Chain A
Amino acid sequence: MVTTDEKGPLTAKKKSVIIRSCDGDEFLVSESAAVLSTSLKKILEEKEDRLIHLSDIDNKTLAMVIAYLSTHADDGLSDDLKRSFDQEFVSGKEFDVLKYLVLATDTLQVTCLCYTVAKKMADIMKNKLVEWVRREFDIQNDYTPEAEAEIRRLDAWAWDDRQLEDD
């Protein structure tokens, strides 16, 4: 167990927290960044503990979330810069990466990032053929062909005769 012995008035300003991923790696995060996550904030309020173990977030995802939190906790950056950081943050990321990110932000209750990532995932889905979405998102189609045809018929009102993308 790592504990902090910082008690002086000077060091108190820049308290930090250690967060351990499910892979066992530890990340040092400033408290001001950590409290942007509602879950971490609650933990820090309840206990003086400076080590938080996240048993369901892997290294790669945690590193990304922490990069996000640290950027947003930086007072020196303008809101415009933070917004463009957010755009950069989700652009070009693989769907799987986004999926773990959205899970992690949900667990950690980082509302803004959860919103940004979910929106990005929705943007990827837009205007795509059913087959494309199934393939890219790895969704197992468990309908029988008859059942699927029936649903297509029932929901035809929402379909129009769309020209969708399959690439």
Chain B
Amino acid sequence: MAVNTGAGPSTKSTTINDLPESLVIHILSFVPTLEAVATSVLARGWRYLWLYVPTLDFDILASYQLSRAPFALTRARFSDSIARTFFLRPIIHLHSFRLAFHYADLGRRKREVRWWIRRSVDQGVTKIMLEFYDDAWMTSYRGIRLGGENNEYNFSLLNDHRTFKFSFEDIMNGSVAELRLRNCSLRFPTDISNGFDSLHTLVLHNIELSSNEHFNSMVLACANLQTLTVELIRNTGGTEIQIHSKSIKVLVLRDHVRIDFDEIVTLDIDVPSLGSLTLTNFVVNQYILVEYSSLVEVDLDFTNRYDLTLLHWNETLLSLGHVKSLRTQNMKNGTTTLPRFHFLQDLELITGFAEGDLRGIFEFLRVSPRLERLVLDYTYFKSAFVDVDPNDVYYFDSWKLSEEFKRTPVHLQMSSLKRVILNNFRNTEDELYLVELFKTQKVVLEEIIAFPPPHGKALSSSAIVLWSA
């Protein structure tokens, strides 16, 4: 039995030209578009390859960093290059279009971004990612001066002119399956009811929501939407955020910012086929969440705004008795009533290791008879880098376990628990006390693993096996 494509290694010198065109095009699809265009000068075989690359990726900062020209000039050339690319490109399927741009709603350039979006939709684009850098970010991070008297940038203008208004109309009846928007505001067509069947994934980050009513209808209108992520939403458009959908399976809501504290803001989730829910520091006054049997995975984290939302956190938790996988903050001193988690197999707690925290862990174990994997994330370690008030009761209350607490015998209910993982493990006495406790109770426990906090730029650290059966 043999697989032979006839393109095997040969004795002659190896060049990238040995690769089939399809592979070179695949490699070029990871290169920023303007650089891919520039490869046409490499050799004859490369002359027209870039035209067949199914991805377009334009980032003005990348262009600016390579350029010696002033920013305004770079920006003008950058815009022209995008337009040229669209003109030259044959009408062949476009997979993705990414644009990272500094927008200014001025003069002849006013409509260019919308034109590019429409052009990509005409070419059958399935994935659109738009990101807009704002002035403050450009100035503070890159030292780019945007002001100047005879410049098209003028600081006296209202900020509104710098905000790109994404029109959902532009992708209507297209084949866009995935849409990611960062730092812009949204415009909705007058008739939202159809034209968005292609949309499967919608990710909104730092979006100004000026009309909740339209947003709510939009979510309802996307009949095939599977994943909805809304992060850092600036809500100026009303008091009710409604997420009603028959199709959404994954819902991620993070960092809701209330503009007007006098109003009561409601989050109303009615998503019967929801499988996974993430609710992180999405602060509103009232949560309406119906209990769904389909929901298996939940991440509920209000650690940043603990004081405000303890009650909501508890209320939400009470309706999650049937989930299989849960990540959430630990409760304080057993003050919270937990539901009985009949099906919970996988639990991750953001916790400390003070007495109150341990009581919380014991209580979670008590109500979760089927728990197989427990992750304890000592995230408070991270707070050591930010300014945590040493008098903050929640963080530092009974920092060390008292001798009395340690002497009290504890019987843990952990009849199915196989694996314990300690994240951000600091090797403190309090953590080790808990490890010892688990060891003596073992039952079916197979191993206890710890991951110390990663050092420097590392994203992860290697595991330490503290104990194994």
Contact = CB atoms under 8 A, between A and B. Distances in A.
A157 B1 contact: no
Contacts of A108: 3
Given A80-B460, A84-B460, A119-B30, A96 B41 contact: no
Contacts of B5: 56, 106-107
Interface residues of A, number: 55
Given A43-B1, A107-B3, A140 B17 contact: yes
Contacts of A54: 2-3
Nearest to A80: B460
B35 interface: yes
Contacts, number: 147
Contacts of B14: 96, 99, 138
B409 interface: no
A139 B16 contact: yes
A155 interface: yes
A162 B459 CA distance: 32
Contacts of B46: 139
A99 B18 CA distance: 9
B68 A163 contact: yes
A13 interface: no
B19 A103 contact: yes
A92 B84 CA distance: 36
A126 B26 CA distance: 15
Contacts of B45: 142
B32 A49 contact: no
A123 interface: yes
A81 B463 CA distance: 10
A100 B47 CA distance: 24
B263 interface: no
Contacts of A81: 460
Nearest to B6: A56
Interface in A115-141: 118-119, 121-123, 125-127, 130, 133-134, 137-141
Interface string B39-54: 1111111110000000
Contact of A125 (B1, B31, B68, B69): B31
B19 A155 contact: no
Residue from B28, B43, B45, B460 having most chain A Cβ neighbours under 10 A: B43
B204 to A, nearest CB: 25
Contacts of B460: 80-81, 84
A121 B19 CA distance: 12
A51 interface: yes
B151 interface: no
B42 A133 contact: yes
A125 B44 contact: no
B69 A52 contact: no
A100 B418 CA distance: 42
B81 A158 contact: yes
Residue from B16, B28, B30, B460 having most chain A Cβ neighbours under 10 A: B16
A28 interface: no
A141 B43 contact: yes
B23 A137 contact: no
Contacts of A114: 26
Interface in B30-87: 30-32, 34-35, 37-47, 63, 66-69, 74, 77, 80-81, 84-85
B84 to A, nearest CB: 5
Residue from B3, B40, B77, B80 having most chain A Cβ neighbours under 10 A: B3
Interface in A51-87: 51-58, 80-81, 84
Given A53-B1, A161-B69, A137 B38 contact: no
| A-B CB proximity, top 7 nearest | A56-B8, A122-B30, A158-B37, A162-B66, A137-B16, A138-B15, A53-B2
13 contacts: A51-B1, A102-B26, A102-B27, A106-B23, A118-B29, A125-B39, A137-B15, A141-B43, A143-B43, A157-B81, A158-B38, A158-B85, A160-B34
Interface of A: 22, 39, 43, 47, 49, 51-58, 80-81, 84, 96, 99-100, 102-103, 106-108, 114, 118-119, 121-123, 125-127, 130, 133-134, 137-143, 148, 151-152, 155, 157-164
Interface of B: 1-9, 13-20, 22-23, 26-32, 34-35, 37-47, 63, 66-69, 74, 77, 80-81, 84-85, 459-460
Given A22-B8, A99-B14, 18 more contacts: A22-B9, A52-B1, A52-B3, A56-B5, A80-B460, A108-B3, A118-B23, A121-B27, A137-B15, A138-B13, A138-B15, A139-B16, A155-B38, A155-B41, A157-B81, A161-B67, A161-B68, A163-B68
